[in-house]
Amino acid sequence: MEPKSIVRKGLNIVFPFILGGLILYWMYRDFDFSKFNREFIDSTNWWWMAFSLVFGLSAQVFRGLRWRQTLEPLGEYPRRSTCVYSIFISYASSLIIPRVGEVARCAVLKRYEGTSFTKAVGTVVTERVIDTLLMLLMVALTIALQLSVFKTFFAETGTNIEGIFNRFTPMGWVVALICAVVALMFACYMVRKMTLLAKFRKVVCDMKEGVLSLRGVRNKWLFSFYTLMIWVSYFVHFYLTFFCFGFMNGLGLMCALVAFAVGTISVIVPTPNGAGPWHFAVKTILCLYGVGMDDAVMFVLVVHSIQTALVPLLGIWAIIALSFTKKLSTSTSSAQQEPTD
């Protein structure tokens, strides 16, 4: 491997940690952690916190069950339990290297079920498209319901959309357009280059087949139910933490929905489990709803830390469970229509 390639891959791993760490340092540089220790131990309602973790677990379980459905039209029938375990490992591995989880879960199915790796990657793309559309719909509805809060949020965070557009000169628009065209041309070139190479043809075809697999899902109502329950679980996982702290009383469901929507958008920034951007975004929303700065900062620190701790625990559980799981060959996995879990 060339030195440049090693450096580039190293930066891809290290940069998310540096970015998240810098944001967290900036947020907590003047925070009184002695106060945090007192209130963390004395005032947190741990029963509500524990209850919220149940929905963190259910979100990943539903995601695993839904993933299996997208694989069935491709002639792949992995065990449901392995699909769920692969999701656990996916989230846990992404804490170490952001975004690597999508590859990790496909590798788990390949190893234990004989599932085609490239087909599995294609279905992951399908899932991401669906989740992105749902996320955009959720954000649009939330903005419509709480437009005044979002206007304040954009203004206070320096991301006023009108102000950004007004700063663009005619030459600025030209440069932006040229950059967009060049980026699009480069993307088209890379896709064409890959498809022209014989060794990548099957990979591209399998991924395309995986993306189109949604059309062949047998029970679309069940698929829709799983999708809905994934996002309901994510939201309840977050909302129940409002009941853990006295200073969060009275904020209501709408505040939780706005904070959840903004927090969901913020995790697009590639840091481990959204650390840093999520803290900043949710803290800002809570302050807009009247929560004190210190309380809001403490809330995001506690909630994110506890809920993130669940992720590696589930990953370890999955690794242990898979160690007792019998591996299936490719032919066995494809031949079984409904394997026993």
- Segment of 121-125, 168-172, 258-262, 320-324 carrying the highest mean pLDDT: 320-324
What does the pLDDT look like over 258-284, one tens digit per residue?
899 888 887 777 677 778 888 888 888
Q: What is the dihedral of CA 96, 101, 106, 107, to 10 degrees?
A: -10
- Is residue 54 over pLDDT 90? yes
Place of tokens 């989740």: 131
Place of tokens 């939201």: 235
**Is pLDDT larger for residue 176 or for residue 32?**
32
Task: Report H helices in 29-160.
Answer: 33-42, 46-71, 80-96, 101-113, 117-145, 147-156
What does the pLDDT look like over 73-116, one tens digit per residue?
888 899 999 999 999 999 999 888 777 888 999 999 999 999 98
% of the chain at pLDDT higher than 90: 26
Q: Which helix (H) or strand (E) holds 294?
A: helix 293-323
Range in 33-37, 92-96, 297-301 the model is least confident about = 33-37
Q: Are 76 and 120 in contact (CB under 8 A)?
A: yes
- Cα 219 from Cα 34, distance rounded (Å): 54
- For 279, residues 6+ apart whose C-beta sits below 8 A from its C-beta are 23, 24, 27, 297, 300, 301, 304
What does the pLDDT look like over 173-193, one tens digit per residue?
554 565 556 456 655 655 555
Dihedral sign for Cα atoms in the order 245, 250, 255, 256 = positive
- Given its phi and psi angles, is residue 250 left (phi above 0), alpha (psi -120 to 50 degrees) or beta? left
Dihedral sign for Cα atoms in the order 264, 53, 233, 338 = positive
- As given in the structure block, the two tokens for residue 321 are 């469970």
- Cα 11 from Cα 209, distance rounded (Å): 33
Q: What is the mean pLDDT of residues 48-72?
A: 94
**Is pLDDT larger for residue 203 or for residue 218?**
218
What does the pLDDT look like over 200-217, one tens digit per residue?
555 555 555 555 666 778
What does the pLDDT look like over 143-173, one tens digit per residue?
777 776 666 655 655 555 454 445 445 654 5
Q: Where are the domains of the chain?
A: 43-335
